[in-house]
Structure 1
Amino acid sequence: MTALSFGATVLDAGRTRFRLWAPALAEVGLEIDRLPAVAMTALGDGWFETEVSCGPGARYRYRLPNGLAVPDPASRAQADDVHGPSVVVDPDRYPWRNADWRGRPWRDSVLYELHTGLFGGFDGVRAALPRLAELGITAVELMPVSDFSGTRNWGYDGVLPFAPDRAYGSPEQLKALVDSAHDLQLMMFLDVVYNHFGPDGNYLASYAPQFFRDDLHTPWGVAIDFRRPQVRRFFTENALYWLHEYRFDGLRLDAVHAIGDPAWLDEMAAEVRSAIEPGRHVHLVLEHDGNEAGHLRRDFTAQWNDDAHHALHVLLTGERDGYYRDYVDATRHLARCLKEGFAYQGDPSIHRDGRPRGTPSADLAPTKFIVFLQNHDQIGNRPLGDRLARLADRDALKAAVALQLLAPCIPLIFMGEETFDERPFLFFTDFHGELATAVREGRRREFRHFAGFASEKISDPNARESFECCRVTATGDSGFYRTLLALRQSAIVPRLEGARAIDAQVIGPGAVEGRWRLGDGSLLTIAANLSTEACPFIGPGASQLYESRPDAVRNSQLRDRSTVAFLASPS
């Protein structure tokens, strides 16, 4: 069990301690199962505490002096939705089958990002695990599961960070999912959101306005005040909670550039490293739009590489809208990503009005960067949620997939990619009333600058159809991905430890060649041509490992829309 400073802690079968940080109040009551409120003891510094005779399953809320009854911000489970009572949970009740599981090294990682609701909840994801393991996936990454308003949401509108959403299943069902993954030697990752709370069901401002800053805002609302030790502790304990109580193998931290005190990130990561059992592999992954490489030299494992995605997307689609304006020289940017990690390492950004973006990253290993062709953001934040299977030439897309899966960077696959599924992935919520109207109209305003915009084509995020049409099936042919992932596992992964980039260069419009010295001294060369014209290419004189199209290299030419890989043994 994780020792939490906040919330309900079961002391024995019939007694529970409750703690709440409410610095704006002089008194707080605790209600158990709708019985009259019991006054909590003020401990000072905004803390309130009490012990009462109740055990697992008891429903409770905190009663404020103005009469408002609120859920526990550290609730481990909710009886209904975010506005209802919290439930006392005994975290030691689940009987782990794989308590001795120690995870897998980072080099093994092939991440598969999915939305739990679209798979049918925790049990639905659990049923899909054998298929994903057979495909060659080694790590399943859940989009956020913390309790949000309604039954349908991407998860980034969560308001109770410790409570798995009831729409997906119980805490025990989530633990069973993790346990089943470990049965199959699969790692489990969880996406967590520490930069904001959702717009419905967050009551913190009514008793702890000090949780927020009045001088800083994020794109999603008021910023959280990480300068306060209680706030820092709340989120550090949340990270430890998912890793200890649920035995997740890793966390992906969403949009950390929106966290006002970046020092907390390294503080939290250092505590995680010190708290994890010796010999256990735990991985911490960042999403950071600022390309801040410094965290990767300390206790963070890797970062999503948006630059690599943006360059590949421009080469595959020709799009130049929005942030893609920064990648008009996409081939050069892709080559720099293969060689040095980030494309923007302090370079001026057109999309940011010429301001510099990023820090130097060339000294970092390629496994510090996660490369993806699609993810929830890059599909779902498009007006129609369209996937690359609809936008790109199929041979060019396969060439890009081959580059992604055979390069030494860590690959991430978004659900449905493996079968080239063409179903959209839309933005969806389950809000009502004025909030539903605001979200719907805001979504349509957001896309007015896109070419060919037509507001009637933008789906209502709150309509159930916007959720249902995003379901993917396992009926398509995943053989292309299965072949590449098997090749990665046999030829690349055993050599990844200590791999370093040697060089990457542009060899033609839309064509790049990258070379890496792998950990055993062998030399990996990959050339990818995503354009519609052949380009000059002289192979490295090594054994050909793979080609995405027959006769990809012929007469010193690399065929259009093709990728080849060569592996030379150590000299």
Structure 2
Amino acid sequence: MSEHYQFGAWPIPGGLCRFRLWAPGQPEVTLLRRDQPPLPMQPLAEGWWQVEAEAPAGTRYRFALGDGPNVPDPASQGQDGDVDGWSVVQDHGAYRWKHSDWRAHPWPQSVVYELHVGALGGFRGVMAELPRLAALGVNTIELMPVNDFAGSANWGYDGVLPYAPDETYGTPDELKALVDAAHGQGIAVMLDVVYNHFGPAGNYWHAITADFFRSDISTPWGDAIDFRHDAVRDFFIQNAIFWLCEYRFDGLRLDAVHAITSETFLTELSERVRAATAGRPVYLVLENERNDAALLEKKFEAQWNDDAHHCLHVLLTGEEEAYYADYADAPAERLARALAEGFVYQGEESTNLGHARGTPSGHLPASAFVNSLQTHDQVGNRAFGDRIFTLAPPDNVRAALLVLLLTPPVPMLFMGDEYAAERPFLFFTGFGSPELATAVREGRRKEFARFASFADPERRERIPDPNDPKTFAASSPQPGDREHPANAEAEAFCRFLLETRRRKLARHLAGAQSLGAAALGEHGVRAQWRLADGSVLSVAAQFGEESLPCPHFPGEMIAASTPHAGEAARGGELPPRSALAWLQEPAG
């Protein structure tokens, strides 16, 4: 086991534990174990320090730096006392897997459900949701980051100990039990990981060694991580392997890789992950503002397609501020391009960014793109965490859901989408430092000052305080959220769409080829694909307020966003705020 990993504490033969730390520049490093004498570590080449010692699972330990403070292990696999406390030795061979023969489904068949573990009540809370999600038709869950962060609550993107599940969610074995239980329900599990920055509290790499960061490149989170060092690259690549092998995750979503300051890191990560997990399906999915199609040709399965989301959002809401400005001039035409080719921006100039972005993507399979109506970003980055169901007419959202769930790109639901949740999902933290809490609150309100709707300082003051426990509580689903008849109806519609996808489309989505897409008027779209079995899938949607002539598509109508839309389509009309899908199966 330990041969895969250079960092951290790992059991070795002889009943000992090997402790290693990369700390170039330190004059000495000492291993501290609770209630035991300090043990000097031995210097090795290239800035490494190591010692072998008795330390059974559960041993609490820290490192004393010769030129700095006592620090937790930056590769801690579990903490006692938050990010500043004692690191805890783990024995990953102790968990007894119930579904060790599990193999995940082919990626093109995925239906992804993004969720926040804390909001659902920790690892045990997510386990309780698995039977419902399986019955809904979800076959892949994606956990927002679970690694250790400072304080009582966090989105997850302020993590500082990438190898350690956060204590507030449960124990390492409870996380393994969650993955195991999901596999028992036929659900693959992905994990969101952050390799581009650390959070503002509890990151001790600055104290351990200045070599971990670049002083010549700044990011919104401070000095950029220095991927020119092999040890820094290994710290993150081995972390990816750690989650996939020790916890048996089926895939990773890599957060904001455009903020990683290396041209080769992602390729190396993919190659080493594939080697370490050879023989089993593993999904690697990117968030990448650069729209780099080359990464999706062989190295990575897919990318979150924000282009498709932004087109749909403009069509549903009419919003045109910030990044939505890039899609406001012709949202239906841009959505058609997203459905047919993946990226909307394939080298064109972005008004929002002030430079060109993207490369041609029409040659990629549809499964190289993950489409969504909402994500944690697109909801939580709104000042009041507004859900699409509070921003757009319900019939329009139903139409968009049909387009999402019955087209070949991999669909992703954000928790609550399936029952049209209106409960906000806000940006929340739980920092213990009053100074940091104030800085986060004021920084967030300052961030919205550039929006016309928040020009009034009094309105900005009403933006929820991220560090107020009420903000996290307001973002957590409650037992009664699904009980209203309208929510039950929405969930039944979602279940119908996913069942239709599973029965009629899923097996033939690999190799689906676009037969073209086009705008219908200013607010409508039509698109067609030939699936792997030769069948032809067609969709049409009208998000505007007027009726349009319904396109004549071959085959059987397999879904309509409302009964009225299905009836009207048979009479040659595409009603306002509606969508339909047809399937022509091959002869014989």
TM-score range, shorter chain: over 0.9
Determine the structure 1 residue equivalent to 2:284. Answer: 284
Alpha-carbon shift at residue 401 of structure 1 (Å) = 0.3
1:221 aligns with 2:222: yes
Over residues 244-292 of structure 1, what are the superposed CA-to-partner deviations in whole Å (9 max), with x where a residue is unaligned?
00000010000000000031101110111122141x1110000001111
Superposition pairs of residues 83-482 of structure 1, within 5 angstroms:
83-278=84-279, 280-328=280-328, 329-353=330-354, 355-431=355-431, 432-453=433-454, 454-473=459-478, 474-475=482-483, 476-477=487-488, 478-482=491-495
How many residue pairs end up in the alignment? 569
Aligned 8 A contact 2:28 2:67 in 1:
no
Alpha-carbon shift at residue 553 of structure 1 (Å) = 1.2
Aligned 8 A contact 1:12 1:55 in 2:
no
Aligned 8 A contact 2:426 2:471 in 1:
yes
**Which stretch of structure 1 is more off in the superposition, 472-481 or 140-149?**
472-481
2: distance between equivalents of 1:100 and 1:277?
A: 15
2: distance between equivalents of 1:51 and 1:13?
A: 10
Alpha-carbon RMSD: 1.2
1:568 aligns with 2:584: yes
Q: Which runs of 4+ in 1 moved over 6 A?
A: none
The amino acid of 2:367's aligned partner reads T
The amino acid of 1:322's aligned partner reads A
Over residues 82-129 of structure 1, what are the superposed CA-to-partner deviations in whole Å (9 max), with x where a residue is unaligned?
001100001111001111112111122110000000111001101110
The amino acid of 2:471's aligned partner reads S
The amino acid of 2:294's aligned partner reads G
Alpha-carbon shift at residue 556 of structure 1 (Å) = 2.8
Aligned 8 A contact 2:113 2:141 in 1:
yes
2: distance between equivalents of 1:552 and 1:13?
A: 75
2: distance between equivalents of 1:41 and 1:276?
A: 32
1: distance between equivalents of 2:453 and 2:48?
A: 55
The amino acid of 1:557's aligned partner reads E
Alpha-carbon shift at residue 37 of structure 1 (Å) = 1.9
Structure (1/2) with the larger helix percentage: 2
- Residue 549 of structure 2, aligned match among 522, 536, 543: 536
Aligned 8 A contact 2:554 2:583 in 1:
no
Over residues 418-447 of structure 1, what are the superposed CA-to-partner deviations in whole Å (9 max), with x where a residue is unaligned?
111101000000112211111000000011
The amino acid of 1:564's aligned partner reads L
**Which stretch of structure 1 is more off in the superposition, 269-278 or 187-196?**
269-278
**Helix, strand or coil for the counterpart of 2:154?**
coil
Over residues 440-477 of structure 1, what are the superposed CA-to-partner deviations in whole Å (9 max), with x where a residue is unaligned?
00000011122332122201000000000111244441
**Helix, strand or coil for the counterpart of 2:79?**
coil
Identity of aligned residues (%): 51
Determine the structure 2 residue equivalent to 1:72. Answer: 73
Alpha-carbon shift at residue 67 of structure 1 (Å) = 5.6
Q: What is the TM-score normalised by the length of structure 2?
A: 0.95
**Helix, strand or coil for the counterpart of 2:475?**
coil
Determine the structure 1 residue equivalent to 2:28. Answer: 27
The amino acid of 1:158's aligned partner reads G
Alpha-carbon shift at residue 411 of structure 1 (Å) = 0.4
2: distance between equivalents of 1:438 and 1:384?
A: 19
**Which stretch of structure 1 is more off in the superposition, 362-371 or 465-474?**
465-474
2: distance between equivalents of 1:199 and 1:92?
A: 33
1: distance between equivalents of 2:116 and 2:338?
A: 28
Alpha-carbon shift at residue 24 of structure 1 (Å) = 1.9
Aligned 8 A contact 1:552 1:564 in 2:
no
**Which stretch of structure 1 is more off in the superposition, 175-184 or 539-548?**
539-548
Alpha-carbon shift at residue 220 of structure 1 (Å) = 2.5
Alpha-carbon shift at residue 65 of structure 1 (Å) = 1.7
Aligned 8 A contact 2:68 2:208 in 1:
no
Q: What is the TM-score normalised by the length of structure 1?
A: 0.98
**Helix, strand or coil for the counterpart of 1:159?**
strand
2: distance between equivalents of 1:365 and 1:96?
A: 34
**Helix, strand or coil for the counterpart of 1:404?**
helix
**Which stretch of structure 1 is more off in the superposition, 100-109 or 447-456?**
447-456
Over residues 276-319 of structure 1, what are the superposed CA-to-partner deviations in whole Å (9 max), with x where a residue is unaligned?
141x1110000001111110012200000000000000000000
Over residues 153-208 of structure 1, what are the superposed CA-to-partner deviations in whole Å (9 max), with x where a residue is unaligned?
00000000000001100000000000000011100010000000111000111122
1: distance between equivalents of 2:554 and 2:414?
A: 35
The amino acid of 1:371's aligned partner reads N
Aligned 8 A contact 1:107 1:410 in 2:
yes
Aligned 8 A contact 1:195 1:255 in 2:
yes
**Helix, strand or coil for the counterpart of 1:469?**
helix
2: distance between equivalents of 1:300 and 1:246?
A: 21
The amino acid of 2:282's aligned partner reads V
Aligned 8 A contact 1:8 1:16 in 2:
yes
1:496 aligns with 2:544: no
1:506 aligns with 2:507: no
Aligned 8 A contact 2:332 2:520 in 1:
no
- Evaluate the alpha carbon distance shift between residue 75 and residue 564 of structure 1 in structure 2; reply closer, same or farther with a 3 A threshold: same
Over residues 362-396 of structure 1, what are the superposed CA-to-partner deviations in whole Å (9 max), with x where a residue is unaligned?
00011110000001000000011000110000001
- Evaluate the alpha carbon distance shift between residue 293 and residue 67 of structure 1 in structure 2; reply closer, same or farther with a 3 A threshold: closer
Aligned 8 A contact 2:147 2:159 in 1:
yes
2: distance between equivalents of 1:342 and 1:171?
A: 38
The amino acid of 1:102's aligned partner reads R
Determine the structure 2 residue equivalent to 1:553. Answer: 569
Over residues 312-364 of structure 1, what are the superposed CA-to-partner deviations in whole Å (9 max), with x where a residue is unaligned?
000000001111110112111100001110000000011012x1011110000
| Structure 1: runs of 5+ lacking an equivalent | none
The amino acid of 2:118's aligned partner reads G
**Which stretch of structure 1 is more off in the superposition, 431-440 or 115-124?**
431-440
Over residues 509-565 of structure 1, what are the superposed CA-to-partner deviations in whole Å (9 max), with x where a residue is unaligned?
110000101000111110011111111223213211111122241543211111111
**Helix, strand or coil for the counterpart of 1:411?**
strand
